[in-house]
Chain A
Amino acid sequence: MVNYLVSLGIFTAIFALFSLGLNLQWGYTGLINFGQVAFLGLGAYTTILLSSAGVPLIIAVGVGAILAALLGLGIGFSTLRLREDYLAIVTIGVAEVLQRVALNEEWLTRGARGVYGYPLPLRNFNPPLVVALAMVALLTAIVALAGWRWWQWLRHHIHGPLQPTAGWQGFSLIPYLVCLAGLQFSLWQLCTRGSPIFWFGAGLSLILAVGCCYIDSFREASQRQSPLKTLLTQGWPTHLILLTSTLLAGVLGVIYQSVVLGLFNNDYKSRLLWLVILVLALMFWQLERWVHSPWGRVLKAIREDEEVARALGKNVFVYKLQSFMLGGAMTGVAGAFYAWQLSFLEPKGTFDSLLTFQAWTIVVLGGSGNNAGTLLGAVIFWAYTGLTRFLNDALPLDDARIGAFRVMLIGLLLVVLMMWRPQGILGKKEELTLGR
């Protein structure tokens, strides 16, 4: 069970990288890329073929990223001067072409038989205690930073709960963290031992943790109305967000714990997850810096109205090209991790256009033009995928039908989201009401 969570975590991080590339292209620059998977596949194949031939992994990944960027350059050079719909169609075509090449050039890719047994990063790396400790420290720092940002976001966006009242600045972070630790402990026990008593523990600590968020607002509100009334009038999205984010924090805690244990116990998947989280964190940080720089401002201007950007002296074509290539390179890196996680690569699955649309789902779900939203979208998407796997046991349907049913459900989810929150989960509502 814990292993399943870890591999779910790896997929989440890989898809987050994959979708961040798309978010740069679509969310920030307004470029429609329906062939995102071409970059993924090119990065994946380049990395594993080169490393199989004896090239060091880091160089292989670098070459993969560069080739993906060059693919972006090629596509961009031929189509970015045209209207955006042409780009969309060309990208679909390129993805198909690359799939056919990978299928038929058997001397290079072994065609439909697929490639396996290629070198994996940190495969035989058994870290001495000091190194393992350093790795854990780095991971902890990343997790703590992300957790802190998350808490900040919650406090900033949720009105009512989490808001410290006047003169009462000791908001319930400490009790909240204690309850969260309890939740995480119960979940861990559930995953490793499965004794049903811990369902009770998990449920209780979840409720207590969420309760902590309300304490302060209750203190203020209780002077005016009953706490129960406060609870019921605060709007269900608030309760839902608090509940799911707390639960998610518990699950992420379980994954974190298993990675930490895995780093000491020489578990390969833990090391891979550690590596992909590190890369994801670095890329996320760099992207955030870029999109908030004057460079990112030009991209956003192009997204809004490229004629205006041109009239103000910006070389629109070059910026579009940069965005397209950079997004492509990031996706190429995601492709390398994708190959390492699967440890078997064949053209049909690797260049499956479904992957492209999963990335689109993630970007739209989280709110396009928002990197944190893309991360959240990836988490939601894979949490959904992970949970609905268990439908197999619950529903009297065969595997193929269950598969179709899952895709149908996520389609439905998107439709509902587009009606209820067209800007995506972290998107800004005001942006929708703006006139052009």
Chain B
Amino acid sequence: MKRATWWIAVLAAVALIAAACSSDDSSDGGDSGGSGAIAISGSSTVEPISAVNAQAFSEDTGAGISVAGPGTGDGFKAFCAGDTDISDASRPIKDSEKESCAEAGIDIVELNVAIDGLSVLTSNNNSAVACLTFNDLYALLGPESTGFGTWDAANDLAAEIGGTTQPYPAADLSVTAPGEESGTYDTFVELVLEDLAEERGQEAATRPDYTASPNDNVIIEGIAGSDTSLGWVGYAFFLENQDRVQALQVDDGTSGCAEPTPDSIASGAYPLSRPLFIYVNPAKAEANPSLADFVDFYLSDEGLAAVEQTGYVPLADYTDVRARWEARETGSVANP
């Protein structure tokens, strides 16, 4: 009996050691060293486009491509650490991110793949509001609105700023929107809040007390869950959920109320339109022919059809973008 126990112990030890030693070479897509695997991470707004193209490409060529959407900020962090091959971004790269990439010796090829209309959403059951100006959005969502639990709590602030559509109804104000990891958050602050915040000597940020989530589907759930909710996401997520949420018209103070439609976004009539980018690591494209092929596919007509398919707006002309990729031109045009 004692001998049997001893043998069982030895076998168990061998099994454990074998399991421990063999687990490091399982690739989860993050390891792209020449094995053909590609790692894409970053904006959850651009994620649908990358995911469609990744699936089509891997069906054709069998390459393993992983696509994640933790947020533009988190995506750049991984990109500048050399962990990902392509970084999706719903805003241009920031100076601090350019610095950390430069410190790590990583070049960036910036490719503008689509245009998005940042949609300000409320529940479908909300009939009290139809159009909000930038000043309205500041009064409801800006840095001075912390603690406003109802729409009418913002009436005084709105009266002070002027250029608003107040008085607001006396209803619950539940805000669900992306958090600080998200490029959508940064774009909203930059386009809507920054100027007025600077004028009033406030920090350029939204109010901190809202339900933040990096997952756009969770944001849609949150907005659909309350009758008088408010939030903002990329246009594609609004299109997918038009039966549960409605997009408010937005007025930047000069061009009147505009609704987000592919035409108004492309022409710039809708004031919250922004470019969507993919940033590629050219060194990794050299080392991994699969990666270079994938970006070629992405920028081909077939790949760019994914932009419209997912609900975003294609650029009028992709010649410049394709030329940048052909030449592997590094640096950022949007934030030089």
Asked if A and B bind, the verdict is no
